[in-house]
Structure 1
Amino acid sequence: MFAPFLFAVLSATVAGSSLPPGFVGRTVCASCHEDVAQAFANGPHGRAMALSREGVLERSCESCHGPGAQHAQDPLAGHIRGRGTAAETMAAACRQCHAWPPVGQNLQAPAHARAGVSCLSCHQSGHQAAKAERLLRGPEEQLCGSCHPRERSEFSLPFAHREGRSPLPCSNCHGIHQELFSSLGIPRDPQKRCVSCHGEKGGPFLYPHPAGEVGGCVRCHEAHGSPNPQLLVRPEAMWLCLECHAQVPPSHNLSNASYRQCVACHAAVHGSHRSVRLFTE
């Protein structure tokens, strides 16, 4: 049991830190949780706080866990916020420092919050001697894939968004901490996200392909992976074209193999400056 006398002595050592009511300071917390406090001070969060305003590091434990005076006097008394709390309660603690977009936005995002996903589901708290980038608990494809197994498996298909054998990081396309967009950071016009890497496909064209204008790139291409070349959603381009262009001209006899190669003539499938029929430039 923590002796009240010792608690009073330690509290006096941080009295000049202008601690809020009910706070006892990191020094008192470290008297019982020395390893945790030291690891935090040496980690990214602690180093950032040490360089910030005076007294921020001293208040660090209770900034997330709540005032600790009652807990310090009697470890069995008082609830320390942040232990076993709901996703939104956890997010509220993180949002005290990470309140600016894009980081702060998704901390209240309905999709993750409803699923019980909190900041600490993906990030370490900083109590550990963490060396991972952004304090992630693991590679993005593993973290996201633990809840999105179908999307993770699609990266193993013959054609996928990969760098070598490694899937592209999910955050390349998904703004994980942004709720201002649909589908976790994918803009409501999904073509905009794709053309950030595939700029030559985005135009502007004098004659754009209406499919891309209406449905975006995912109207014809899979986003994560596909068994088909170019990540197409159909094995052959003809079947994809016929979904929108079922009324082919009588001159286009589809029993003739040459007319089943739509892109042989209509090669400017993303858009053309020459013809509304997307003929080759």
Structure 2
Amino acid sequence: MNLKLLLFILLNSCFLLSSTTFANDYVGSEKCFDCHSEQYNKWQASGHPWKLRKVEKARYAKLPLPPGYSWDDISYVIGGANKKARFIDKDGFIITAAKDGSEAKTQYNIEDGSWSFYHKGEKKPYACGPCHMTAYSPEGHQDNLEGMVGTWAEDGITCEECHGPGMEHLRNPVKTTIKKITEVDLCGKCHQRGGTGPEPPASKGFIRHHEQINELKAGAHGDLSCVECHNPHERAILVKKNLCADCHGDIAASYAATLHGKQGTECIECHMPKASKSAISVASYTGDVRTHIVKINTAADANMFKEVEKDGKKTTYAKGFVTVEYTCLSCHGSRDKAWASKYATHFHGNK
């Protein structure tokens, strides 16, 4: 072969390899640590990096495994931080049965240590993009595993999923070379179901999980941005304090003089009850995720849910308010809605 032609082929091969490897300019979250260690460490303690983890990392979380499985049978773990964990086998399929193929509960619920069925016995591909990983593409199979639908740059929701590719910022670390997005639609890529409209889908008496944007738009605070309450680098429960009083000062002052105010019951206990369910319900009107609807309808006959029929299929949605069985009876379980309605009417005191 002509030497010049050989050199041309080799140079072009190197160029194509380099272009393929670095075309998306994602550098990985560990690069961010070098300059942003405080934000990185807070983010590591949040749920976002736990959305998907390779077995090499996940096995140290000391999670129990589905019947018959060992860590040598697992390729990835979905979740495992706060609510639940699901497991992916060596072929990239979500485990839905015992290793011997018999019926088994394969979703581990962290809060109470119970197990639940998940698509019992189905051959379930892992098709959770783009909400469990960074820089998702629907093309191909991650790690060449048949059950993995799509490929991505990094497991979990990492820095570059929200801030964009970091290569330019790494080369020139100034504010103008990285994205800082505060719009609700960024969070709405994942924290919604069926789009970002104001109708949160519900099932079996609870709002379904990861629908915070649907809830927010359905309720009384649809114009708020998520970052007005949350620091996206921290755990969701570490919300900024005393935010309600910033806008509702008179009501907050009046409420502080009531029995509940004096005993330290916070606004979110009633206005953001656990009316949503991710893994388990701990009582008849208590799920495991706080709703973002906020508005309360205190009428005793109010129904929080509605059923809509479309194309012959019925779907349940939450309305733009929560009702007293979720706000009051989750604590006062021996009472009824009529009692709750009576006492909730002037709950904030004179305001």
TM-score, normalisation: structure 1 = 0.48
Structure (1/2) with the larger helix percentage: 1
Greater CA radius of gyration, 1 or 2? 1
TM-score, normalisation: structure 2 = 0.40
Structure (1/2) with the larger strand percentage: 2
